[in-house]
Chains A and B, each alone.
Chain A
């Protein structure tokens, strides 16, 4: 009987073992990359909103403070979405006839909320509270990016656990003085490392063990 395998089968066997290993490794690597991709995290994805509201104009050009609209950011878990009255404080006169404002005026007339599309959607097994973050020196732009330069708001960061933990492990690398929380022009380089540690102490930020304990965020 002739040989069932010819000589090249040896090489094929070796190469297929190698290919198998490479395949598994590639699959694993692709998984980690896919899980961090904006396709799954929603990062950098602009959303169509019912009103063509531009943060770039209202924050960047007009210099309106974040809290004029997001008024509960210092006191509650949610930063707060403005009631339609907040829009009408100015738009009762400014651009009052613009068709772009029709959804706002309709909401005001009919007393129905504007159905904004949520941009930052944390999973509901995480406990997140805006007020403690702004009270402990985390600025708006640290997590939300340059909102004053976003015509349509997108998610600047992955919002994944590794991203949260990067700051919870070493908050001193990200915090700023409380007077600069709402300053969109703040740069991380505005403080040196010594000042950061002093700031961390003066803000009474808890230990790394406490900050990275499971129940700090999952409760």
Chain B
């Protein structure tokens, strides 16, 4: 009787073994799930190399992006074309100081423009003006406003009001002056050279000319009857609307 029941005993042992194995497997599975969920290893996610703006423990200022060594000239960027890169004539008179006045809101206004070139160093095309409109609406519109009246959102928030583009003085200012202001700043305006490349600066200047025509077509066209290179026909859709809140 006892002997006959032995196979049953063996079966019970087998069952116990497989139960143990199942428990072991379940334990391993759950552990591996938990481990992988915790992301214990992240060597692949965070590799020992620098991506843009990654912090560096090596350099004392903590920046992994390094400045060029002083005096470095990238290939093809010798900037020999002075008119294109500075907006100034070839041999500027360093002693010539611009004549300035101060307006009611404390802006320093320049009334003479020594050394500034008055011809675009790039061909003025519709593509250039479109590009200028695109860039103007990013970087300039915040203060100068959609049409250049100087009523941009930041001015409405309390920043000094810049002069309008649409007065006699700036209508007659040479293109090199606008380029110079974008490149080096003027008054309360910081330099935008760090975000607007020279080619885009000329595009913006071309667009400012287009804005000037759009606001005072008669005066500009009369003054430019001798076909100034900076003058461009008014663009449709660019009128005074949209400037005021």
A: residues with CB less than 8 A from B are: 1, 4, 20, 23-24, 27, 30-31, 34-35, 40, 62-65, 67-68, 71, 76-78, 80-81, 83, 85-86, 88-90, 92-94, 111-113, 115, 123-125
Closest 9 A/B residue pairs (Cβ): A78-B52, A123-B45, A65-B138, A124-B47, A71-B195, A67-B138, A31-B33, A89-B190, A62-B153
Separation of A217 and B153 alpha carbons in the complex (Å): 40
Known contacts A4-B8, A67-B138; can you find 5 more A-B pairs with CB under 8 A?
A: A1-B5, A4-B12, A62-B153, A65-B137, A93-B159
Expressed in whole angstroms, the Cα–Cα distance for A83 and B33 within the complex equals: 43
Task: Indicate the size class of the contact surface on chain B.
Answer: 35 or more
Residues of B within 8 Å of A67, CB to CB, are 138
- Cβ of A64: which chain B residues have Cβ within 8 Å of it? 142, 153
- B157 interfacial contact with A, CB 8 Å: yes
CB-based nearest A residue for B53: A81
Give the complex CA separation of A124 and B46 in angstroms. Answer: 6
Is the pair B39, A20 in contact by a Cβ cutoff of 8 Å? no
Q: Which residues of B from 32 to 90 have beta carbons under 8 Å from A?
A: 33, 36-37, 39, 44-47, 49, 51-53, 55, 61-63
Please give the distance in Å from B77's CB to the nearest CB on chain A.
Answer: 16
Rounded to whole angstroms, the CA-CA distance of A125 and B188 in the bound complex is 45
Residues of chain A with a CB closer than 8 A to B141's CB:
65
Q: How far is the CA of A1 from the CA of B9 in the complex (A)?
A: 12
Distance of A158 Cα from B219 Cα, bound (Å): 57
Q: Is B160 an interface residue (CB 8 A)?
A: yes
B170: Cβ under 8 A from any A Cβ: no
- Contacts A35-B37, A71-B195, A124-B46; A113 near B63 (Cβ below 8 A): yes
Whether A123 lies near B157 (C-beta < 8 A) is no
A125-B39 Cα distance, complex, nearest whole Å: 15
Q: Are A27 and B46 in contact (CB under 8 A)?
A: no
* CB of B30 within 8 Å of the partner chain: yes
Determine the chain B residues whose CB is within 8 A of the CB of A20 once the complex forms.
22, 26
Once A78-B52, A81-B53, A124-B45 are accepted as A-B contacts, the answer to whether A88 and B190 lie under 8 Å apart by CB is yes
**Complex Cα spacing A123 to B189, Å:** 40
- Closest CB-CB distance, A8 to chain B, in whole Å? 16
How far does the Cβ of A108 sit from chain B's closest Cβ, in whole Å? 11
B55 and A27 form a contact (CB under 8 A) = no
